[in-house]
Structure 1
Amino acid sequence: MIFVTGGTGLVGSHILLEITKQKIPVRALKRISSSKIVCEKVFNYYKQSHLLKEIEWIDGDINDIISIEEAINGCNYVIHAAAIISFNPDDVKEMLNVNIKGTANVVNACLDSNIKKIAYISSIAALGRNTSKGIVNENCIFQMNKLETNYSISKYHAELELWRGAAEGLETVILNPSVILGAGDWSKGSSQIFEKSFKGIKYYSEGGTGYVDVIDVAKCAVMLLHSDIKNERFIINSENIKYRDIFDTLSEKFNKPKPKIKVTTLMKEIAWRIEYVKSLFLDINPRITRETANMAMSRSEYSNNKLQKYLDYKFIPISESLENYANWFLSER
């Protein structure tokens, strides 16, 4: 049996779908306050709603070590996908607590329960950007600089907990997905790009990053979990693309004008400061933070050579992902 954390989120829901399609027994952890709407939406869209009954849901919290130990009892494998993704300064304390302490609890529970192997859904954010050739791979060493976000710091330290577990005998694989494209909640995470593009985007930057379909992340997680590979990390990235190219593609799909105004460094610095002041006076979350503004201006490329060497995996083209999820988005309008 596989134990999955974060099963109510975008990645976790697709992992559960992949596991149940393979007829593997699965148990999923959810907080009492969490909704299963995204998970049900994903299963329904792919006409697999009959598989929902195959999931054994159990209430708990990764920050409660006792609930984790009880939930993991009787399982052989673990996929740890639970995390908080935020670039809002107000969320830093909770994010560090969940992503680092919560991961430590999961690792400790695995060690105490003699789990055979764990797959951890990390992020390219944990890899750092210190590479002279401009292409990030699994050997890059994380170093602090002004471009590293609190989220990246949390995922880096979470990975250290996995390596600690590996040193203590827990077989481990770490997945470092790039920006994940998928459909779940259009108002959260990278899925927001479809909502924003539908409303119209005026501005663009020269930045860019890697993208991957959530289906690929889920498939790679299950494949690596059941492989003989252990104590390795893998970048899960389909293509490296400029933000402007993504916006142009979606704008064309939604019959909206393509972004025309190029964001300069000065505009970027002014924008996040204005949003910060507005958030203070209006008590709302800023649409742009210092971290997201810096990310929009940076360009990083990620190599998937290692995964290809080990698995020879064929990724879904990003053009196909954008087309599929844009159609899904439009079907719900």
Structure 2
Amino acid sequence: MISKSKVLVTGANGLLGTNTVLDLIKQGFLVRAFIRHKRYISRFNHSNVEFCIGNIVNIETLERAMLGCHYVIHIAALIDPKHLDYDEFELVNVTGTKNVIQVAKNLGIKKVIYVSTANAFGFGSKCDLGNEQKPIRPPFNKMPYAMSKLMGQEFVLSQSHEIDITVVNPTFMIGAYDSKPSSGRIILSCLRSRVVFCPPGGKNFVCVTDVSKGIINAMKFGKRGEAYLLANENLSFFEFYKKVRFHSKKSFLIVRLPKWVVLAVGYIGSALRTLGIKTPISKANTGALCINNFYSNSKAQTQIHLTFNPIDIGIQEALAWFSEKNWKNGGI
């Protein structure tokens, strides 16, 4: 692989997209950042980055964006759990992905990296970790986002006989440049509160910089038609909150919530959603907070030669970035 190859990155303005663009620049790639709005252009100021404004549901803008590129990293997705209709997720995460692959095939793109989600695979316990062989499990098979990403993943893998495609499946990413914010809301909740309510479950946390490295390693070493979990530390929410408290030097109280309370909130959220009220709370979403959503990264370590940093580093980088942007007091 030649470092001066041109890479199209969809969803270049998000947490993962920004980190991926920055890593590609460091490694000497030419980057075309595919974004939806002009306001995101100021995020990158480098001679090796050019911008293309459009939407993955629009074939014509995708063709303009992909023309002249050698590789495509497809990150763009609809993730907001407030959306009530699965069709909204399907339009972006399935139809949009099909558009990306079709255009890539038409233009002879060398390789596509599709960024899916770890929850497309079955999670496990610390004694029996989830891996790339396990099928999706409840409650994620009831979540429109996870199911739409699984549908997108199954489609792209079905096309691997026609085009070189590798899938990566990140877990819960923590780090800098979380400007919306997305996963960083879990850290902001600690910075803005004196009391943090902690659900009984846990999940796998990974530094976003390790995921961006994993994407580039998958470009270089990923096998055609294979998927790789980009996972790292399996922690309870209580363990994670303690790490945030230690690194932030903020003395907030962590209150453990019993499972029945968390599930009751989910039932209320689902009832509101049936009334057409947009809320991220649902039975499935709160159910996910009550399980140990743990995964293994052994395949990524052995096949794409990826090493992982402690999640403490991701927490520190997120805290420093939020502090710089004054997010504690509501953002800039």
Output the CA distance in 2 between the equivalents of 1:131 and 1:249: 21
Output the CA distance in 2 between the equivalents of 1:228 and 1:310: 7
Report how far residue 188 of structure 1 moved: 2.7
For residue 299 of structure 1, what is the aligned residue in structure 2?
292
Output the CA distance in 1 between the equivalents of 2:114 and 2:227: 9
For residue 72 of structure 1, what is the aligned residue in structure 2?
66
Q: Does 1:35 align with 2:39?
A: yes
For residue 18 of structure 2, what is the aligned residue in structure 1?
13
Report how far residue 102 of structure 1 moved: 0.4
Quick one: which of 76, 96, 107 aligns to 1:82? Answer: 76
Q: TM-score, normalised by structure 2?
A: 0.87
For residue 233 of structure 2, what is the aligned residue in structure 1?
239
Written as runs of structure 1 = structure 2, the 5 A alignment for 1:1-333 is: 1-31=6-36, 33=37, 35-36=39-40, 40=43, 49=45, 51=46, 53-90=47-84, 92-129=86-123, 134-142=128-136, 145-148=138-141, 149-167=143-161, 169-185=162-178, 187-200=180-193, 201-227=195-221, 229-252=223-246, 253-260=248-255, 262-275=256-269, 285-286=278-279, 288-333=281-326
Structure 2 residue runs without a partner (length 5+): 1-5, 327-332
Report how far residue 105 of structure 1 moved: 0.5
Report how far residue 280 of structure 1 moved: 8.8
Report how far residue 228 of structure 1 moved: 6.2
Q: Is the 8 A contact 2:81 2:145 kept in 1?
A: yes
Equivalent position SS for 1:15? helix
Q: Is the 8 A contact 1:134 1:300 kept in 2?
A: no
Report how far residue 263 of structure 1 moved: 2.0
| Greater CA drift, 148-157 or 220-229 | 220-229
User: What letter matches 1:115 in structure 2?
Assistant: I
User: What letter matches 2:318 in structure 1?
Assistant: Y
Change (3 A) 1:134 1:21: same
User: What letter matches 2:187 in structure 1?
Assistant: F
Change (3 A) 1:278 1:127: closer
Structure 1 residue runs without a partner (length 5+): 44-48
Output the CA distance in 2 between the equivalents of 1:89 and 1:117: 32
User: What letter matches 2:324 in structure 1?
Assistant: S
Q: Is the 8 A contact 1:247 1:258 kept in 2?
A: no
Q: TM-score, normalised by structure 1?
A: 0.87
User: C-alpha deviations, 1:110-132, integer Å up to 9, x for none?
Assistant: 11111111111111011134899
Change (3 A) 1:131 1:287: closer
Q: Is the 8 A contact 1:179 1:190 kept in 2?
A: yes
Output the CA distance in 1 between the equivalents of 2:105 and 2:149: 20
User: What letter matches 2:59 in structure 1?
Assistant: I
Higher helix residue share: 1
The percentage of aligned residue pairs carrying the same residue is 25
Change (3 A) 1:228 1:331: closer
Q: Is the 8 A contact 1:186 1:195 kept in 2?
A: no
